[in-house]
A and B are shown apart, each in its own frame.
Chain A
Amino acid sequence: MKNGKGQLTGEHFLLGDHACAEGAILAGCRFFAGYPITPATEIAERMSVRLPQSDGVYVQMEDELASMNAILGGSWAGVKSMTATSGPGFSLMMENLGLGIMLETPCVLVNVQRGGPSTGLPTLVGQQDMMQARWGSHGDYEIIALSPTSPQDLFDLTIRAFNLSEKYRTPVLVMTDAEVGHMTEKVVIPPVEEIEIIDRPQVHKGDVEPDHFRVYRDSVNGGNGYISPMVSAGEGYRIHVTGLTHDERGYPAMNAQANEWNVRRIIDKIQAHKDDIIEVEEQNLKDAEVVVVSYGISARTSLWPIQMARDEGIRVGYLRLITVWPFPEERIRSLAKKVKGIVVPEINMGQMIREVERCVAGQTQVLGVHRPGGDVLEPDQVLNAIRKAAGRSKRAKKKGKE
């Protein structure tokens, strides 16, 4: 893979969406298919300029159904592929996100979330697609989703998204939002040789006797979490893959037993590697009486009220989900036993809080800080929830400060 005629390095004052595009190109993305939609359009715009300079292909498709399918095709042609969208487009992509999961196709889908439902608030922030990210396509599956807080983070996590998708042969979602996508900040781009780039396990022409090659081979030890090497179109293996329930050879197999093998396979390969996939950022958890659990822009804006609460003497910890899906269940479970309360700020009417509550299972109180889309959370909203979780009224704050 060529690295492009003009490699960007150094410090740049970059729009979040543009940082995402640069991250993708550094990660090796050479095919982008998309459809214009606010606030994700700038990713497509940047890709349309940058990919032709990097021996890549940019194509604007007729809709998001086509965009999602085109990147699956691109990936099976052996090229790292990406699309980017928002709200309504994300809904349209759900059908073929499922196909991507079923065919075990590495690719990256960026959702620059805006306020919904429906056309909603095209230019303004939301975090309302978090559950759709997990369950939006029909059927049982596991998904990997990452949530960045700044243009730099969006750059870094786009690279990570490609790495995870290649390593585990599955579509990976970058669940960013209008705030981060449309924010311009300093982004430091390291030289490409300093970045860890993972390519899919792959079988090339001549590696295996084609008759013996199986697209979805299980490991010898029972298959739990084994990632089969991928073969691209044109390598001479004459593969067949289908969105139907299939067997090891990729052939349709219409029975319950095959479905179990198939579904377990796509779930197990994520579950078995949770430790590698799940990433969280933690601050002051050791002595925390209250922990703020959040992600994306809401995690970032919570740091201010957390500071205010600490100034008031409340021992607040911070747990940011860098990986949103799979959910860090064990981490939340162990926290639940130790703290007075958990506060979950998010720009929706209560989505990830359900996961937190599920893991907490009544062992401590869980307070949500919610608003539908349109703006980031006000510092006071979060501060008040922290106080409440710590059992301090507004008046008690002076006491706490000593």
Chain B
Amino acid sequence: MTKQSNGTMLRSERARILGYEPLDEGDWVTGLHPMDDLLRGERLPHIWCQGCGLGTALTTFIGALQWLEKNQDWDLDKVSAVSGIGCTGRIAGYVRLDSFHTTHGRAIPFATGLKLANPELKVVVLSGDGDIAGIGGNHFIHAARRNLDITVVCVNNFNYGMTGGQVGPTTPHEARAVTAQYGNFEYPFNLPYLAAASGASFVARWTVLHARQLEWTLRRALAHPGFSFVEVIAPCSTAYARWNREGRGLDEQNLGRRGLETMKYYQQVGRTVTDAHPKDVDIKFNAKGEITEIIEGEFLDEAKPDLKAAMDQRDEHAEKIWLAEKDAVDNRTEIPARKDHIQRAEVKLGGFGGQGIISAGRIIGVAAAIYDKLEACFTQSYGPEARGGAAGSQVVISSDPIHHPHPVEPTSMIILSQGAYTKYVPSLAPGGVLVIDDSLVELPDDHRTDIDTYGIPATKIAEEAGTSKAANTVMLGFWTAIVGVVSREAMRQAVAESVPAKTIELNLKVFDIGFEHGEKIKT
């Protein structure tokens, strides 16, 4: 950009060079003020009222950034400012940084995404008390809990300013607001205490009239690794100060004067106590809701790992888990695809939780879909069906595409508990095949005669082989032999890739016992 010899330029000239029409009437000179580089001059004048504390808050913030740029080599291109909605929320629109004006209360989660996705960025949230502690309160405590490496600057003016002065989560008890004209019946947050209790590692508070101290604190807060929180007490000259007759005196009709008087008042009731315990720093007020003491200072500065550092420690772990899974899939042995045409077969498995009903169903699916190259759709039962520890799963197998994912009328069933017997067997298709673990299921007198029933003492066989946990595999072997929808070799491969490595041998052994038992019964 070309600048006049003294470094200044008319706004209209700047706009012409940038190729856009200025939005508002009027001209101003840019390049004169030492903070011009960090302000979006074309957006000024700002919307804040005379006597508002936000101008000072913005100035101290920019001052802190300039100091960090000069003294700690900060690249301000890497700084993102994020705001929510409200008067303070407008700060994002005035700073010449990457700046994001998000939705009400959501600046912190937006900042979380920015920071985690690109840890190189320095991310600062600037928003008001309503935004941070009211609608965004949940985000605030959770970001603090995670010790996410961002800085949150909360400008507290004790009410919702932009909407006209409504009561908020920081309004003192008995103070007045447009929606608390009889006095606020609620009690305010102690924000530094809330932040500290939630896990923030840097916590401070100043009023805007402590501009120097505030700027110094902001430098430290911005440079602090971890979640830093700075509460800035500022007057709302238009709403809160007026409703509560703060800053009255010389000229009550003059907003700027009232704001200034209020700033002085906040400063006068201020008491600097560095290293005060955050629990002791709640803003004191009298029975009329008038503020009587504001404790300021840096209350907490703690070194502890921030969220990203904690996340990065897990990388090594991640690799281990992944390789195990990849190995299982990579080491598959192809088996010859089946040539026979399989009609839609519907298998239902039932038992109680812990018997491996879900894994057994999935194994059938793997065998059919991956090894036998059939279509297979596996689902498990949820909802009311799964109540009382019951477990159910089902597999539909076919040579043709499976349009309907659930069994309509199961053609075979694998049942490992009396409860599952009672629940599922009535739905088995006439002529269907029922295989049961007869060490667990007893057939009642009125057992269906229109189905073929085969029993095997699966749990007993598994126990003899070493563990009752493998009863489901015995059942799979037995079912494979009797029903014949899926090939024995496909099932063996599927079992081997699905069970824990240490138990492959045992599972294949009991699978074969079950299979041979089935072959024998069938003939």
Interface residues of A (CB under 8 A from B): 5-6, 8, 10-13, 30-31, 33, 38-39, 49-50, 52-53, 57, 59, 61-63, 65-67, 69-79, 81, 95-96, 98-99, 103, 121, 123-124, 179, 182-186, 205, 211-212, 214, 232-244, 247-249, 251-253, 297, 300-304, 307, 376, 379
Contact = CB atoms under 8 A, between A and B. Distances in A.
A10 B329 contact: yes
B243 interface: no
By Cβ-Cβ distance, the 10 closest A-B pairs, closest first, are A73-B113, A123-B382, A242-B101, A66-B109, A77-B117, A70-B113, A69-B109, A77-B118, A74-B117, A52-B318
Given A70-B113, A77-B117, A79-B117, 20 more contacts: A52-B318, A53-B321, A62-B142, A63-B138, A65-B109, A70-B112, A71-B113, A73-B109, A74-B114, A76-B113, A182-B380, A211-B18, A234-B77, A234-B118, A234-B120, A238-B99, A239-B98, A240-B40, A242-B92, A243-B102
Contacts of A297: 405
A241 B100 contact: yes
Contact of A66 (B19, B23, B106, B114): B106
A369 to B, nearest CB: 14
A76 B405 CA distance: 40
Contact of A73 (B42, B111, B317, B329): B111
A9 B349 CA distance: 30
B98 A234 contact: yes
Nearest to B317: A52
A230 to B, nearest CB: 12
A184 B113 contact: no
Interface residues of B, number: 72
B73 interface: no
A169 B121 CA distance: 22
Contact of A233 (B96, B98, B321): B98
B377 interface: yes
Contact of A96 (B103, B116, B377): B103
Nearest to B395: A184
B318 A240 contact: no
Contacts of B445: none
Contacts of A184: 362, 365, 377-379
25 contacts: A8-B326, A13-B376, A13-B378, A30-B117, A33-B112, A53-B321, A59-B116, A66-B109, A66-B112, A66-B142, A71-B113, A72-B110, A73-B100, A74-B113, A103-B100, A185-B365, A212-B19, A233-B80, A233-B114, A239-B99, A248-B20, A249-B20, A251-B42, A251-B93, A376-B406
Given A182-B380, A185-B376, A81 B113 contact: yes
Interface of B: 1, 17-20, 23, 40, 42-43, 77-78, 80, 82, 92-93, 96-103, 105-106, 108-118, 120-121, 138-139, 142, 311, 314-315, 317-319, 321-323, 326, 329-330, 362, 365-366, 369-370, 375-380, 382-383, 401, 403-406, 408
Contacts of A73: 82, 100, 109-115, 117
Contacts of B120: 234
Contacts of B20: 214, 247-249
B118 A13 contact: no
Contacts of B102: 69, 72, 96, 99, 243
A29 to B, nearest CB: 11
B117 A81 contact: yes
A47 B329 CA distance: 19
A74 B377 contact: no
Given A77-B113, A238-B97, A379 B404 contact: yes
A213 to B, nearest CB: 10
A13 B365 contact: yes
A77 B114 contact: yes
A253 B23 contact: yes
Contacts of A95: 103, 106
Contacts of A251: 23, 40, 42-43, 93
A30 B116 CA distance: 10
A233 B77 CA distance: 8
Contact of A185 (B23, B108, B378): B378
Contacts of A244: 101
A53 B101 contact: no
Considering residues A77, A182, A251, A252, which has the most beta carbons from chain B within 10 angstroms of its beta carbon? A77
Contacts of B322: 5-6, 49-50, 53
Nearest to B121: A234
A78 B118 contact: yes
A245 B1 CA distance: 28
A30 B109 CA distance: 17
Nearest to B79: A234
Contacts of A186: 369-370, 375-376
Contacts of A30: 117
Nearest to A95: B103
Contacts of A66: 106, 108-109, 112, 138-139, 142
Contact of B318 (A31, A53, A77): A53
Contacts of A49: 318, 321-322
Contact of B404 (A59, A65, A75, A376): A376
Given A73-B110, A234-B118, A62 B101 contact: no
Contacts of A303: 401, 403
Contacts of B101: 240-244, 252
Contacts of B366: 13
